A = this chain, B = another copy of it.
């Protein structure tokens, strides 16, 4: 890990392009990551919006190898490594740490529901002990609407007590401002990312460290500027970010992001998703672009 460098305040859960054979398209992925990095945006590859859970362990490892080989900075990376299965989570985490990534974003095992904190604690502990590397920095991933497995205050407390430094922060994708306040109230200094730029300013005001947001895939420059200027007027303003985000989130998120990228790069290949997810219908895509232009969205290729 690069303790000395500055961790990005804004990260994109990088969308994953697929070829006609539904295999990941590493060329387009690398180009997209370079574009994000040039605008100061960190790379939370293999997140929800990366369709990471539609990828095999081997595919995820190969893509991370390729990103690093392409010269992208592991110090700006927070790849997702949490899966349903302990050995898969261990393998992905060990591999990512071996690349010197800044940290990993870790979903809880998400098939079984109603799992108690003791079970989740044992699961995370087992991963940490098996990876056995002091460089490991875990960002817990709280996204109950998809995982069905919330990460609550008691669990965070137990993990931080047992593994200080290692359990470094969290991405809170619940969308609840009250939860940001609750977590930061209980754990000052915990590196908390909001899961949407709608809560970027709120989170920074509360002591959080930024956001990891789907829409950073299409609007990275503006979000990064707002992050840098949240205390003055030199950024685009929270409202400008919100207008873009609200236009996009009316549609299925990943399909919408890929549609926007395909449209502004004039590259229909980008529209493809791996099943079970599907591309945006043409009419919806046209409506989305019209809405974005109505709010002065500017894609900066």
- Choose, from A50-58, A70-78, A171-179, A211-219, the stretch at the interface: A50-58
List B contacts of A252 (CB < 8 A). Answer: 114
Q: Report if A278 contacts B (CB, 8 A).
A: yes
Q: Once bound together, how far apart are the Cα atoms of A126 and B56, in whole Å?
A: 15
Q: How far is the CA of A53 from the CA of B108 in the complex (A)?
A: 13
How many copies of this kind of chain does the complex include?
Answer: 2
A145 at the interface (CB under 8 A from B): yes
A54 is contacted by which of B54, B86, B147, B275 (Cβ under 8 Å)?
A: B86
For chain A, residues 109 to 140, give those with C-beta under 8 angstroms from any C-beta of chain B: 109-116, 118-120, 122-123, 126
Interface string of A243-284 (1 = CB under 8 A from B): 000000000100000000000000000000011111000000
Interface centre among A110, A111, A115 (most CB of B within 10 A): A111
Contact of A53 among B57, B111, B276 (CB under 8 A): B111
A54: chain B residues at CB < 8 Å are: 84-86, 109, 111-112
Contact flag A116-B278 (CB < 8 Å), given A84-B84, A87-B59, A126-B22: yes
Q: Is the CB of A112 within 8 A of B146?
A: yes
List, in ascending order, chain B residues with CB within 8 A of A86's CB.
22, 54, 274-275
Q: List 12 A-B contacts (CB under 8 A).
A: A54-B111, A55-B87, A86-B274, A109-B276, A110-B111, A113-B145, A113-B146, A115-B276, A120-B276, A122-B275, A123-B276, A126-B275
Q: Of B48, B87, B119, B277, which contacts A276 at CB under 8 A?
A: B119
Measured in the bound complex, the distance between the Cα atoms of B22 and A55 in whole Å is 25
Q: Is the contact region of chain A dominated by helix, strand, or loop, or is it mixed?
A: loop
Q: Which 10 A-B pairs have the closest CB atoms?
A: A53-B111, A123-B275, A119-B276, A123-B276, A122-B275, A53-B84, A56-B87, A115-B276, A119-B278, A109-B276
Q: List the interface of chain A (C-beta within 8 A of B).
A: 22, 48, 53-57, 59, 84-88, 91, 108-116, 118-120, 122-123, 126, 145-149, 252, 274-278
Complex CA distance for A204 and B86, rounded to whole angstroms: 38
Name the one of B22, B85, B119 contacting A56, with C-beta atoms under 8 angstroms.
B85
Q: What residues of B have a CB within 8 angstroms of the CB of A114 in the complex?
A: 252
**Closest residue of B by beta carbon distance from A90:** B56
Q: What residues on B are CB-neighbors of A85 within 8 Å? A: 53-56, 59
Interface centre among A54, A86, A120, A276 (most CB of B within 10 A): A276
Bound complex: CA A86 to CA B52 (Å): 11
Residues on B with beta carbons closer than 8 Å to the beta carbon of A113: 145-146
Chain B positions within 8 Å of A59 at CB level: 85, 87
